[in-house]
Amino acid sequence: MKYRIWGGIVLLLVLLFAANLFLGSARIPFRAVLGILVGEEGEKTAWTYIVWQTRFPQAVTALFSGASLAVAGLMLQTVFANPLAGPSILGIDSGASLGVALVMLLCGGTVGAVTVGLTFSGYVAVVVGAFAGAALILGLIIFFSTLIRSNVMLLIIGMMMGYIASSAISLLNFFATAEGVFSYTMWGMGDFSGVSAGQLPFFCGILSVGLLLALLLMKPLNALLLGERYAGNLGINVRRVRVVLLISTGLLTAVTTAFCGPIAFIGLAVPHIARLLLGTSNHNFLLPVTMLCGAVIALLCNLISVLPGSAGVIPLNAITPVLGAPVIIYVIVNQRKIQYFH
Amino acid sequence: MSAADLTIGYRTGRRVTRVHEHLSFRLYPGELTCLLGANGMGKSTLLRTLAASQPALSGELLLEGRPLSHYSEKERSRRIGMVLTDKTQAGGLTVYELVALGRQPHTGFFGRLHRQDHVRIAEALEAVGIAHKAQSYTAELSDGERQKVMIAKAVVQECPLILLDEPTAFLDVVSRIEIMDLLHKLAVEQNKAILLSTHNVEQALVLADKLWLLSQERGLQCGVTEDLILNHRMDSLFGRPDIQFDYAHGVYYPIVHGCRQIVVESEDDTLLHWTVNALNRRHYACVQSIPDNTSLPSLRASAPDRLLLNQSGKTTLCSSFEELLSLLVN
C-alpha cells in the first residue's frame, strides 16, 4: 500500500515536471518543446532559450523549494510536538526575509534584486543573510522552548517574533527607495522564477545539503515522537539533534526564501497531506513522501501561476493559501478522528 | 545498580537545592521494587537521577560496578529502559512501530530493523499481552493498553534495569493490577531489576519484592516489603499524624476525631472491620472492650443483618447498616 502511494506520487511528480516544461506564459508547440528537450535546435532560438533558461530552472526550483519547505515544516512539527508548526507560522521565513532585507540594504541594493545582476559573492551574501535571520529566529524559539512547556504558547511566541521581524522589515522599507519597496513587494509575493540557470547548481547544492541532513534525522525524529525524555532514553543526543535540525530547517527555509520569497503554507500543509495519504507518522516513510508531496504541490502551484498565459503570472502566495488553508482547516475540524493528533 | 551516600537535588546557577542526602540503596535483578512517597518528596528526582537525566549532587552511583556518569548516552540506553508519564505524539504510529522504537539503541544509523529485531518485538508484544493490537494505531488504545505498549518498548530495549515513573497513574483498578502483575512477571521471568514509583500502595504491598519508602523524616528506607511493614516503618511515610497505616489490612486511613465513643463487638473480623469503618465515617471512635463507663452506646454485630444497638438503655435490632446509621444520627 505504502509503496503504491510512493509510486503514484513519483509518477505525478514526473508528469507535473513535464507539464511545467511544456506549458508556460509563452505558447510553444508540444513538438517544438520535445525537440528542444532532446537537444535539437528549436525552430526559434527564443523557444530554446525559454525552455532551457526559464522553464527548466523554474521547474527545478519549484521541485527543490517545495521539497525543502515541506520537509522543514515536518521537522518543525515533530520537534515542537505541534502539528500546526511550520516555517511561516513560527516566523522563520520572516527572519530570513529580514536577513535578506538587511544584506540588500547594506550592499546598497534593494530587496528583491536578488535575482537581477548579482554577482556570485552577492547571492552568497544574501543566502548567508537569510540563513542568519532564519537561524536567529529558530534559535530564539528553541531557547524559549526550554522555558515554556506549552507548545501553543511557543507557537504564539514564534508568531510574535515573526511580527517583530516584519516590523523591522517595514522600517527598512520605510527608508528604502520606491523601487526598493516595489521590488520587495514583488519578491514577497513569491515566485519560482527567481533562480537563473546559472544560479541553479548553487541553489540546488545548498538545498541538497539541507535535504540530506533531514534524511539523516529520520531515526531521531521518530524517537522524538515520544517526547524528549523518551528520545534521550533511547540513546538520542537530543541537544545535538536539535542543532542539526536547526541548521537543516534554517538552510532549507532561508535559501528558498532568499530566492523565491516567503512562500506560505507549503511547509505547514504538505506534512499533513503526506501523513493523511500514508496514514503514519513514521518518518522512514513520511519524510521522503513529504519531500515528494512538497515538490508535487510546488510544481502544481507553479503550473497554476502561468495559467493566465500572456496576461502575466499569478503570484505564488495567491495560490498556496488556497491549496493549503483548506487542508489545515480539514485537519483541525477532524482532529479527533486523526490519529497523529493523539 | 547501587548507590552509596548519594545526594540528589537541583543545581540552579549557584543555588543548590538538596532534596535528599545520604541515600544508599541497591537494585537487584529479578526483583520488583516499588518506590512509595508523598507528592513532592523527590520520587521523580530520584528516578531522574537514576536515569542520569539529572546529575547526582554528590555520592556514588554505580551501574554494573561502573559510575553511571561514565556511561555514554548510547551505552546507557542499552542498560536503563524508562517508562514515563510524558505525553507523546505517537498516535499516528502503530503499536508495532512504537515498540520498534525501543530497538533504536541496537539498530544502525537509519534504524532499520533486522530479523532478530522483529523477533524481539514480537516476543515483547506477546509478553505484555498486546500482540493482538500490533497493527492498531496507538491513538486507538486505552490508557492501560498504552502503558503496556510503553512497557513493551522498554522490554525490547533489552535493558537489565527498567525504571517506571508512576506506570499505574490514570488507570482503572483492573489495569493497575494487570500492569503491576505484568511488571512482577517480567522481573522474575526476564531477570530484570525493575523500579517503579507509585501511589498505588495497595498493589505495591502485594506485588513488590522490595519497598523503597521515601519520606522527609527518615529519608529513604529500603527493605523487603514484609520486613518494612512488620517493623512498623509505614507510619512515617507521609509524616502526618492524622494519617495512619492499618497494619492488618495494608491501607492508609485518616485518624478519626471521635467526638463520640461507641463500644463495638463482633466475632467476625471482616464484619468488625467494616462496622468500624462505617462508624468512623460518622465520627464515632470505636472502643473494643467495655470499660467501666457503661454510659457509652454499644453495638454488637453478629451478622451484617443482625446489628444490635444499645443506645441510652434502649436496644434496637438493625437489619442493615443503612438502618443503623440513620438511628445513630438521631
Question: Does A1 score more than 80 pLDDT?
Answer: no
8-state DSSP, A51: I
Report which DSSP code applies to B136.
S
Residue A322 has pLDDT above 60, yes or no: yes
* pTM, full prediction: 0.87
In a domain, B142, yes or no: yes
| Backbone conformation region of residue A261, classed left if phi is above 0, alpha if psi is from -120 to 50, else beta | left
Q: How confident is the model at residue A149 (pLDDT cuts 50, 70, 90)?
A: low
Both B58 and B170 in one domain: the answer is yes
B107 to chain A: which residues are within 8 Å by CB? 219
Is B250 within a domain? no
Q: Is residue B282 pLDDT above 90, yes or no?
A: no
The nearest CA of chain A is from the CA of B123 a distance in Å of 19
pLDDT at B99 over 90: yes
Residue A62 has pLDDT above 70, yes or no: yes
Looking at residue A159, what is its pLDDT? 86
The pLDDT-based confidence of A281 (bands split at 50, 70, 90) is very high
Query: What angle separates helix A200-216 from helix A56-79, to the nearest 10 degrees?
Result: 30
Residues B292 and B163 grouped into a single domain: no
Could you tell me if B184 and B297 lie in one domain?
A: no
Q: At which residue does the C-alpha cell 495567491 appear?
A: A318
Which residue among B218, B245, B272 closes a domain?
B245
**B167 at the A interface (CB within 8 A)?**
no
Q: Which CATH number among 3.90.700.10, 1.10.1240.10, 3.40.50.2300, 1.10.3470.10 corresponds to the domain A2-341?
A: 1.10.3470.10
Beta-carbon neighbour count of residue B106 at 10 Å? 18
Q: B101 and A234 in contact (C-beta within 8 Å)?
A: yes
Does B281 fall in a domain?
Answer: yes
Whether residue B255 is contained in a domain is answered as: no
Out of A248-257, A301-310, B148-157, pick the least confident. A301-310
Q: Which range, A8-17, A18-27, A158-167, is most confident?
A: A8-17
Q: Is the dihedral of CA A76, A80, A86, A87 positive or negative?
A: negative
Task: Write out A15-42 in H/E/C secondary structure.
Answer: HHHHHHHHCCCCCCCHHHHHHHHCCCCC
Do B184 and B301 lie in one domain? The reply is: no
B101 & B176 share domain? yes
Does the beta carbon of A139 lie under 8 angstroms from any beta carbon of chain B?
A: no
* pLDDT, average across residues B67-71: 89
A341 vs A29, residue with greater confidence: A29
Does residue B309 sit in the same domain as residue B169? no
Quick one: pLDDT at residue A30?
Answer: 84
CA A231/CA B257 separation, integer angstroms = 50
The phi and psi torsions of B102 (rounded to 5 degrees) equal -65, -15
B203 falls within a domain: yes
B104 interface with A at CB cutoff 8 Å: yes
- Nearest-CA distance from A275 to chain B in Å? 8
Residue range B32-47: average pLDDT? 89
Rounded mean pLDDT of B96-124? 92
pLDDT band at A116 (very low <50, low <70, confident <90, very high): very low
- Tell me the mean pLDDT in the region A103-125: 58
pLDDT at position B292 is 64
Closest by CA position to A29, among listed A61, A37, A11: A37
Helical residues (DSSP H) of chain A, grouped into ranges: 2-22, 30-37, 45-49, 56-79, 92-106, 120-147, 151-175, 178-188, 200-216, 218-224, 228-233, 238-260, 266-278, 283-305, 320-333
Strand B193-197 to strand B15-26: parallel, antiparallel, or no bridges (unpaired)?
A: unpaired
Binned at pLDDT 50, 70 and 90, residue A185 comes out as: confident
Average pLDDT over residues B14-21: 83
Pairs of CB atoms within 8 A across A/B: 99
| Closest CB to A237 among B73, B86, B111 | B73
Instruction: With CB atoms and an 8 Å threshold, state whether B109 touches A342.
Output: no
Which of A234, A283, A338 to probe the B interface (max B CBs under 10 A)?
A234
Domain contains B251: no
Task: Specify the pLDDT at position B294.
Answer: 67
Residues B237 and B268 in one domain: no
Measured from the Cβ of residue B326, the count of other Cβ atoms closer than 10 Å reads 11
Residue type, B118: H
Average pLDDT, chain B: 88
Contact B111 A342 (CB under 8 A): no
Q: Is residue B254 part of a domain?
A: no
Contact B89 A236 (CB under 8 A): no
| Pair (B240, B264) in one structural domain | no
Whether A151 has its CB under 8 Å from any CB of chain B: the answer is no
Residue B295 pLDDT grade (very low, low, confident, very high; cuts 50, 70, 90): confident
Chain A 213-252, CB below 8 Å of chain B: which residues? 216, 218-219, 222-223, 225-227, 229-230, 232-237
Are the CB atoms for A91 and A137 separated by under 8 Å? yes
Q: What is the pLDDT of residues A221-279, one digit of tens each?
A: 999 999 888 999 999 988 888 888 888 998 899 899 988 988 989 999 999 999 999 98
Q: Contact A284/B87, CB-based, under 8 Å?
A: no
Average of per-residue pLDDT values in chain A: 86
Q: What is the CATH number of the domain that holds B131?
A: 3.40.50.300
Whether B92 contacts chain A with CB within 8 A: yes
Last residue of one domain, picked from the residues B191, B215, B245: B245
Contact by Cβ (8 Å): A186, B49: no
Same structural domain, B222 and B295: no
Domain that holds residue B35: 2-245
- Please check whether residues B115 and B159 belong to one and the same domain: yes
| pLDDT confidence band for A129 (50 / 70 / 90) | confident
Choosing among A80, A151, A226, which should be mutated to test the B contact, i.e. which has the most B CBs within 10 A? A226
B141 and B11 inside one domain: yes
Task: Delimit the domains of chain A by residue range.
Answer: 2-341
Cα atoms found within 13 Å of the Cα of residue A56, Cβ hemisphere only:
16
| Smallest Cα distance from B72 to chain A, Å | 9
| B221 and B281 both lie in a single domain | no
- Whole-complex ipTM: 0.84
- Most confident stretch, A70-79, A188-197, A309-318: A70-79
Number of domains observed in the structure of chain B: 2
